[in-house]
Amino acid sequence: MTVPIFPANTAARTSCILLVFFLNALLVTPSTARAQKQEVVWSDQEKPIVDQVRGLRKLPDELRGQANRKLALQIRQLPAVPNKVRLANALAGRSTEGDFGSDSLQEVTTTLADALREQPQPDDKGEPAAAYMELAQLERYEHMRVSLDAPAYKAAMAKLVADDQRRQQADFTLTDLQGRIWELKSLRGKVVLVNFWATWCPPCRKEMPDLQALYNRFQDRGLIILAISDEEQEKVKPFIAEYKITYPVLLDPGRKVNDLFQVEGIPKSFVYDRDGKMVAQSIDMRTQRQFLQMLGQAGLQ
């Protein structure tokens, strides 16, 4: 989820976007960061955890699961103070950047739920706080167990259900880098993977070779990958050439499709089966194995 500048959507909270706050040692949600001007003050007990969370992406993938689990347990032992929710939410945001094991992700999920139970968070402009939304996504999309009986958490789950219903009905028409026009609803009979990404996003770049490999493997069996960026063609085209990407790359300069799908963090992917039904989605970057699981839900194996 390390970028030195904000993308166009400053309200985004996950993946690449949350990294900005890690690098600034804030580890707070964007809504909180906008509301408070002062820097977060970390206790001596919290500072080592902050450093470890900040350094997670420097670890090899095979060590990330163990590190995530260790940090989750360390955060769980902290006293019930606001920074505990910040740290638990930040760790949760980084723990979905790939496939680091369901057991370790469950520990991260439990830690976030416990922190919210100890320190309930107020609504943000009438909607559940970001930590509740993060926890709800872990249950709904990562299939983690969550034990939290809180109205804000129930509201977060209800929002995800409503969001998915809107995404199921969504349609768009966009043009790719070669000038071809693509309409989502016209692709019935194909398995379609819609991927939201940007050139400045490290997790996006990390998953692109796996997407290309899957496209090479399945395009003759009806797989279409539509990668959508809200950046300018002058920035996207040389990047795609350098990475040797051959699946369609579409431009969404006004972010209308990003907003239609309510994309608040990237990378994010949606899979539609041959009947046009949305059958799977990711909340962060995926490995090739995870993408295969998503495609399997659309009958492509």
pLDDT for residue 264: 85
Both 156 and 255 in a single domain? no
Q: What is the DSSP letter of 247?
A: S
Q: What is the DSSP letter of 142?
A: T
Query: Residue 30: pLDDT band by 50, 70, 90 thresholds?
Result: very low
Tokens of 290: 């995870």
Tokens of 241: 């050439």
> With 50 as the cut, is the pLDDT of residue 31 above it?
no
pLDDT for residue 27: 47
Query: Residue 39: pLDDT band by 50, 70, 90 thresholds?
Result: confident
Whether 267 maps to a domain, the answer reads yes
- CB atoms near residue 186 (< 10 Å): 12
- What integer best gives the mean pLDDT of the chain? 89
Last residue in a domain, options 164, 186, 215: 164
Both 180 and 228 in a single domain? yes
CA–CA separation, 41 and 124 (whole Å): 22
Both 33 and 118 in a single domain? yes
> What proportion of the chain, given as a percentage, has pLDDT over 70?
87
CB burial of 84-102 (b: ≥16 within 10 Å; e: otherwise) equals bbbbbbbbbbbbbbbbbee
Amino acid at 231: E
pLDDT for residue 20: 41
Half-sphere exposure of residue 142: CA atoms within 13 angstroms, side-chain side: 31
Which among 107, 109, 104, 155 has a CA at the least distance from the CA of 133? 155
Both 191 and 56 in a single domain? no
pLDDT for residue 38: 55
Domain coverage including residue 51: 14-164
Both 251 and 284 in a single domain? yes
pLDDT digits (tens, 9 = 90+) for 96-154: 999 999 999 999 999 999 999 999 999 999 999 999 999 999 999 999 999 999 999 99
In sequence order, which residues have a C-beta less than 8 Å from that of residue 51 and are 6 or more positions away? none
Residue with tokens 């790359």: 249
Tokens of 161: 């259900």
Both 142 and 248 in a single domain? no
Mean pLDDT of 1-14: 35
Whether 75 maps to a domain, the answer reads yes
> Domains in the chain: how many in total?
2
Report phi then psi at 202, rounded to 5. Answer: -55, -45
> With 50 as the cut, is the pLDDT of residue 25 above it?
no
pLDDT digits (tens, 9 = 90+) for 42-85: 999 999 999 999 999 999 999 999 999 999 999 999 999 989 99
Whether 269 maps to a domain, the answer reads yes
Last residue in a domain, options 136, 164, 192: 164
Query: Residue 6: pLDDT band by 50, 70, 90 thresholds?
Result: very low
CA–CA separation, 31 and 259 (whole Å): 18
Whether 9 maps to a domain, the answer reads no
Whether 3 maps to a domain, the answer reads no
Last residue in a domain, options 115, 142, 164: 164
pLDDT digits (tens, 9 = 90+) for 105-114: 999 999 999 9
CA–CA separation, 22 and 292 (whole Å): 30
Say if residue 209 is preceded by a cis peptide, omega within 30 of 0: no
Both 106 and 185 in a single domain? no
In sequence order, which residues have a C-beta less than 8 Å from that of residue 92 and are 6 or more positions away? 108, 109, 111, 112, 134, 135, 138
Considering just the CA atoms, what is the radius of gyration of the chain in Å? 19
Residue 211 burial (10 A CB sphere; 0-12, 13-18, 19+):
buried
Beta-bridge mates of residue 196 = 228, 268
Both 91 and 221 in a single domain? no
CA angle 196, 202, 205 (to 5 degrees): 60
Both 160 and 177 in a single domain? no
CA–CA separation, 43 and 198 (whole Å): 35
Instruction: Please state, in angstroms and as integers, the Cα–Cα distance from residue 15 to each residue in 167, 214, 264, following that order.
Output: 20, 22, 9
pLDDT digits (tens, 9 = 90+) for 206-219: 999 999 999 999 99
Mean pLDDT of 26-30: 41
